[in-house]
């Protein structure tokens, strides 16, 4: 058996659970650009989970839902402030 082949095959691909969203899916729900979501995950605004050998980002559905609710509340608050001026 070749040692190089063994090392190459040693990588284990972890499958993301079905309750996890890809970056693009999460962005569609939040109506934001993918770079914005990546920046938010780097800043700790939302937690990203890295899966697979490439370290692809995945996001929990409940985290996206909570962020969407927060984003909606902020938007409504801003509209109320503008209407009072």
* Domain edges within the chain: 12-84
Rounded Cα–Cα distance for residues 72 and 70 (Å) = 5
User: Pick from 11, 7, 45, 10: which is nearest to 26 by CA?
Assistant: 45
Classified by CATH at the fold level, domain 12-84 comes out as Multidrug-efflux Transporter Regulator; Chain: A; Domain 2 (1.10.1660)
Task: Decide: 67 and 31 in contact? Cβ < 8 Å.
Answer: no
Q: Look up the pTM and report it.
A: 0.67
Per-residue pLDDT of the chain (85 residues; tens, 9 = 90+): 333 333 444 444 455 567 899 999 999 999 999 999 999 999 999 999 999 999 999 999 999 999 988 888 777 666 566 666 6
Query: Which two tokens mark 24?
Result: 């693009």
């Amino acid at each position: 058996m070749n040692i190089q082949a063994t090392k190459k095959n040693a990588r284990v691909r972890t499958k993301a659970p079905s309750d996890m969203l890809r970056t693009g899916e999460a962005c569609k729900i939040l109506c934001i650009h993918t770079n914005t979501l990546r920046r938010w995950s780097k800043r700790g605004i939302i937690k990203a989970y890295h899966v697979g050998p490439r370290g692809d980002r995945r996001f929990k559905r409940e985290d996206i839902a909570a962020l969407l609710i927060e984003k909606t509340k902020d938007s409504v608050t801003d509209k109320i402030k503008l209407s009072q001026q």
